[in-house]
Structure 1
Amino acid sequence: MADPGLRTATSADLHAAADALGLSPAALAPALVEPRARVLVGVEGQVVLLRRQWADDATAEAVAVRRTGVPLDHPDVLATAAGWGCDRVRHLATDRVGEVPLPPADAPLAVRFAVLSALAATRVETAVALARGTGVARTKDDGSPAVAADGAAHAAAVAVLGDLGVPVLSEESSDAPVPDGSPWIVLDPLDGTGNFAAGLPPWAFSAALVDDGRPVAGLVADLSSGRRWWALEGRGAVRDGVPIGPRPGGTVVVPSGPRGAVVGVPETARRVRITGCTAVDLCLVADGAAAAWHDVDRSGTHVHDVAGGLAVLLAAGGTALTEEGEPLRLRPDTETKIRLVAAADETTARELLAALA
């Protein structure tokens, strides 16, 4: 009989999982909400408690703190470790170690991207921590801040994603040529630089694989909290191992307030949030924390700012429209600004466009 696999535990699994691991529910409960911890459960009573931690060589590893009926090399344990950008899995009790394999070279490009983008996010996490407080801060031509960590994040990400053999576009470099009809990667190595410099969460790594104008795979890693959103076209989107989906609501998120004006929102909006991190904003719409996002009453945004978050949103079932109300198509151009609305559904998106008209 085929192994039905493991899934990420929810609050409904807490008492049974805690009992199986020999823990009190109170001791296990934080692992259900902490992004750097994961409880996996199976239909036959299998349970494993994993924690992400740093190893002595500055790589990340997934540590099996407690387990029952789950081998270290279980596919879902390895998949969790890969999603965290870990190089290995370690058993806490015995110190036994197993490597996290990379997809083979003949695996689908989107699958290889999913694993390598997670690994890139971890390398970026280290790079920006090392670069914090170094170099000289400056202001880019578009008015956005830049610090040494931006360049360090770019170098760390490209060193990993370059192995995929497709053009990699980035906020921190000139655009590479993309042949017609070819897939390409676009990333914002450190989205929310101003937040990072101020120590005000969130700041994130964002990457997307784009094919025929569609972001077909994406990862957004909130480096300030450990939250990770992952998406693959046709397979949905998850946040920290749990499937997500958008939903209507009264919260609208925007990149910033328009200078000298008020933020445009539909009549159904009850509150506006400004996080300073566009990639995370779009993921908040994807997972239902917010109902919509837009930049229509501003000067616009860039493809690297939105691609990773849009991949998550669209795979989760959300909608993105241009300011003209057309489906958004991404182009390999990090210089030209675009304006769009992103929402839980098309009705909400069009209501927002009407309110902004």
Structure 2
Amino acid sequence: MSAGDRGNPPHPVLAAAADAALGAYRDAIRRHTPAQLAEHVLDGADGTPSMHIDVLVEDAVIDAVTALGANVLSEERGWVDRSSALTVVIDPVDGTANAASGVPVSCFSGAVAVDGVFTHALTSWLHTDDRWWAQAGVPSYRTSGRRAAEGAAVSLLRPHDRNWEAWSRVARAAGRIRVLGCSTMDAALVATGAIDAFADAGSDTHRLMDLAAAAVLVPAAGGVLVDAHGRPFELDLDLTRRWSGVVAATPELADEMCALINLA
């Protein structure tokens, strides 16, 4: 297990949520076939299809978090109100397609917001239960410190027709490109210095729960989270909102990534 700030334990609500997610994930892959896990069982609150594995893990996490008196905002069930000042934004299984098919690159990720301000985050690699956590304002981990895209190790969301040119510009500028299919893991890897940057190259695919943990983990490591189009990233109960998140080791690298994405 990875320690967050190497001193303080993770927020207890996030630790309970991660424990619940891990147990439900392991139970799901033991009891169900990949085809059953990938079955489309409902349309989530964010407007996207939900796989069976999403719902199985989310139900366990919501039970754990609400039992501790916190509100929950999640992609499948949306807003669960417990009349608390504390809200936990969760992505029960980020990298759902990976998880359902047996590719070991998926995460539980959550962030605590108190009166609308993100204060704590935790991301757990479901395959291994490695965990990364941080508290806002408390130094934790260290990014690579890279300031330029030339030679950088960059993870990207897969390209779409609508952003192929921008995606290609970033790929040509970087030294190495990866497509993991798990945004929350990508952000944790930037925070720990394993890669230099991660981005949605302008496709407006990212949802709140894809980036909530990064809003705490990455600044605590000296990096930055921005939107490629300059929109503020903030807690919002409207799960149809989208961003093109750019997570980078330094402000300079983030600025260059955004310039490449937005080059006319």
For normalisation by structure 1, the TM-score amounts to 0.61
Higher helix content, 1 or 2 = 2
Q: Which has the higher contact order (CA 8 A, sep 6+)?
A: 2
Q: Any gaps of 5 or more consecutive residues in structure 2? A: none
Q: Answer whether contact 1:258 1:297 (CA < 8 A) is retained.
A: no
Q: Answer whether contact 1:322 1:341 (CA < 8 A) is retained.
A: yes
The 5 Å alignment of 1:84-103 reads none
Per the alignment, in what secondary structure is the counterpart of residue 92 of structure 2? strand
Q: Please give the root-mean-square deviation of Cα atoms over the aligned residues, in Å.
A: 3.0
Question: 1:295 aligned to 2:197?
Answer: no
Match of 2:127 among 224, 232, 235: 224
Residue 105 of structure 2 is matched in structure 1 by: 202
Q: Answer whether contact 2:153 2:177 (CA < 8 A) is retained.
A: yes
Question: 1:120 aligned to 2:17?
Answer: yes
Q: Distance in 2 between matches of 1:208 and 1:255?
A: 21
Task: Give the C-alpha shift of residue 170 in structure 1.
Answer: 0.4
What letter matches 2:124 in structure 1? A
Q: Distance in 1 between matches of 2:81 and 2:161?
A: 35
Q: Any gaps of 5 or more consecutive residues in structure 1? A: 1-34, 39-75, 84-113, 238-242
Question: 1:251 aligned to 2:153?
Answer: yes
Q: Distance in 2 between matches of 1:322 and 1:342?
A: 9
Question: 1:281 aligned to 2:183?
Answer: no
Q: Answer whether contact 1:203 1:223 (CA < 8 A) is retained.
A: yes
Residue 235 of structure 1 is matched in structure 2 by: 138
Q: Answer whether contact 2:71 2:82 (CA < 8 A) is retained.
A: yes
What letter matches 2:154 in structure 1? V
Per the alignment, in what secondary structure is the counterpart of residue 282 of structure 1? helix
Task: Give the C-alpha shift of residue 116 in structure 1.
Answer: 2.5
Task: Give the C-alpha shift of residue 268 in structure 1.
Answer: 5.0
Question: 1:160 aligned to 2:58?
Answer: no
Q: Distance in 1 between matches of 2:156 and 2:229?
A: 18
Q: Distance in 2 between matches of 1:178 and 1:121?
A: 20
Q: Answer whether contact 1:124 1:152 (CA < 8 A) is retained.
A: no
Task: Give the C-alpha shift of residue 331 in structure 1.
Answer: 2.2
Q: Distance in 2 between matches of 1:177 and 1:165?
A: 9
What letter matches 2:75 in structure 1? E
What letter matches 2:121 in structure 1? G
Overall identity of the aligned pairs, in %: 29
Q: Distance in 2 between matches of 1:143 and 1:334?
A: 8
Q: Distance in 1 between matches of 2:85 and 2:22?
A: 29
What letter matches 2:71 in structure 1? P
Per the alignment, in what secondary structure is the counterpart of residue 236 of structure 1? coil
Task: Give the C-alpha shift of residue 303 in structure 1.
Answer: 0.3
How many equivalent pairs are there? 245
What letter matches 1:118 in structure 2? A
Q: Answer whether contact 2:107 2:126 (CA < 8 A) is retained.
A: yes
Q: Distance in 2 between matches of 1:128 and 1:225?
A: 11
Distance 1:352 1:213, change over 3 A: farther
Task: Give the C-alpha shift of residue 315 in structure 1.
Answer: 1.8
Task: Give the C-alpha shift of residue 201 in structure 1.
Answer: 2.0
Say which one has the larger Rg: 1
Task: Give the C-alpha shift of residue 198 in structure 1.
Answer: 1.4
For normalisation by structure 2, the TM-score amounts to 0.80
What letter matches 2:250 in structure 1? D
